[in-house]
């Protein structure tokens, strides 16, 4: 083998090895995000996690909207030390006592990846978020943050938006005869896509399949 070909082979091996390590680190960061960050930042980093949606006055947690930490050094510091909004309420917890330096580095890399190549980052993240166990209790929390505004806390169709949404009004879910599969399709695709009310919005872009299933299971507990 010619010397020039040897150098080319070495360069190729170094490049592919670097790419493999980077992909592994990003996947590690995605897994950590799905386990530690979804509650506040949401499944897609949009700031629509359960906690900010339930607590009035909670600071915005979108990773895209006016981010204060934009480079890796700043992200590592925020993840490690947390963010203290005031002297009483600590909204972003510090993770340095629970995550290793390597894990924090991987998480910071994934956040940068999420911002720079959102579509592919979300594909990577979804591999982990779809495997998270979601119970009926989770379904209740999601229902209260996503659905109660129209359908009411008990699913009676008497949410605050029922004063505005007419013809047809929000459904009384306690009397629904839809199968779990049909209910799941309506939640994911919206009413219009399945021949139902066009005023029912699609939630598939905001909820994972396991979250949809948890909501369907919770709705089942509301039925007469």
pLDDT tens-place string over residues 171-201:
999 999 999 999 999 999 999 999 999 999 9
* Residue labelled with tokens 């629509």: 48
How many Cα atoms within 13 Å fall on the side-chain side of residue 81?
A: 10
- Is the backbone peptide bond immediately before 168 cis, with ω within 30 degrees of 0? yes
Task: Identify each DSSP E strand in the chain by its residue range.
Answer: 83-84, 90-92
With beta carbons less than 8 A apart as the criterion, state whether 67 and 75 touch.
no
pTM beyond cutoff 0.75: no
pLDDT band at 18 (very low <50, low <70, confident <90, very high): very low
Residue 144 CA, distance from chain mean position: 16
Handedness of CA 92, 96, 101, 102 (dihedral sign): negative
Tell me the pLDDT tens digit for each residue of 114-128. 999 999 999 999 999
Tell me the pLDDT tens digit for each residue of 52-108. 887 877 888 999 987 778 899 999 999 999 886 555 455 788 999 999 999 999 999
């Amino acid at each position: 083998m010619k010397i020039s070909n040897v150098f080319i082979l070495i360069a190729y091996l170094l490049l592919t090895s670097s790419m493999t390590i980077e992909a592994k680190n990003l996947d590690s960061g995605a897994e950590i995000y799905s386990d530690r960050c979804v509650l506040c930042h949401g499944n897609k980093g949009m700031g629509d996690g359960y906690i900010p949606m339930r607590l009035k006055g909670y600071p915005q947690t979108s990773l895209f909207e006016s981010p204060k930490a934009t480079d890796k050094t700043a992200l590592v510091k925020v993840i490690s030390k947390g963010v203290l909004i005031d002297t009483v309420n600590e909204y972003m917890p510090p993770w340095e006592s629970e995550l290793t330096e390597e894990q924090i580095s991987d998480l910071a890399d994934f956040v940068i990846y999420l911002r720079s190549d959102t579509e592919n980052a979300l594909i990577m993240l979804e591999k982990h978020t779809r495997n998270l166990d979601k119970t009926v209790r989770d379904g209740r929390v999601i229902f209260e943050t996503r659905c109660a505004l129209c359908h009411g806390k008990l699913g009676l169709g008497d949410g605050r938006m029922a004063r505005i949404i007419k013809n047809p009004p929000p459904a009384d879910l306690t009397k629904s005869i839809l199968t779990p599969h049909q209910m799941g399709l309506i939640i994911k695709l919206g009413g219009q896509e399945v021949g139902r009310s066009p005023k029912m919005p699609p939630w598939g872009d905001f909820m994972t399949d396991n979250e949809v299933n948890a909501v369907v299971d919770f709705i089942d507990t509301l039925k007469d």
